Amino acid sequence: MKITNIKGTVELANGIKMPYLGLGVFQTPNSKIKRAVHRALDVGYRHVDTATLYENEDGLGEAIKTHPLPRQDIFITSKVWNTDQGYDSTINAFNQSLRKLQTDYLDLYLIHWPVKGKYKETWRALETLYDEGRVKAIGVSNFMQHHLEDLMQSAKIKPMVNQVEFHPKLVQQPLLDFCKTNNIQYEAWSPLMQGKIFGIDLLKELAGKYNKSIAQLVLRWDLQKGVVTIPKSVHEDRIASNADIFDFEISDDDMALIDSLDRDERIGPHPDNI
């Protein structure tokens, strides 16, 4: 990944350019999403990540509609929820997401979790939506290597993205390496561990060394690991601060130190337990 500025992108397997820094809107209520999204777009973000589960697609649609930027300049991701999985129900869920988002296409659509016995049919629906040109890229979320291998045995189209929990306490380097080998873009959710990274002494020390905040250090670490990242915030100052990560570079030695914090520690559920 070539890191340039806030509007920089990574090229997916099908040639679609995905902004490597985005705004996550998990747990962002409709009452606050417009202000947060407008701030992010004004700062320079060009990628917003939502999901059916978040119950804020309608708010996001209104936020994008009322911002001066044209729709085609904004990369929108959404995800099909577990109870909507299956071929027909996924198509229906996708149509509902489009209506709420007030758009006629998505840039990226993901399977939210690998629901056993359903994700293959769900993937077949995503392939249909992709073939019809209603979504520019398709992928998965929270898939382990064995889920990916199982899916790819029957898939006509390989997943282009795998969005997973990723932060210094949960690196999953073998999964990251597998995705790189198979040209599946790795993407981080909860890159700041819902605030838990701020209590880690090593990160405090390194942040001071680079004259950056802990959040800025970790988000830069994400990008240098080749991982797309979508920090969530509703605070305008933090949204801007999270994007101020393009004027420094973490050394190889310090990257390794951050890697050494890996403890296979999750804040969310394990994908095998869904």
Tally the C-alpha atoms within 13 A of residue 182's C-alpha that lie toward its C-beta: 20
54: annotated active-site residue: yes
Residue 250 CA to residue 191 CA, distance in Å, equals 17
Q: How far from 260 is each of 13, 157, 171, 175, CA to CA, in Å? A: 30, 35, 9, 16
From the list 54, 109, 119, 186, the catalytic residue is 54
CA distances from 38 to 65, 67, 192, 230, 236 (A): 10, 7, 22, 16, 9
First to last CA, the chain: 32
What sign for the dihedral angle of Cα 32, 236, 251, 197? negative
Burial class (CB in 10 A: 0-12, 13-18, 19+), 50: buried
Q: Return d(Cα 239, Cα 172) in angstroms, integer.
A: 27
Catalytic positions are: 54
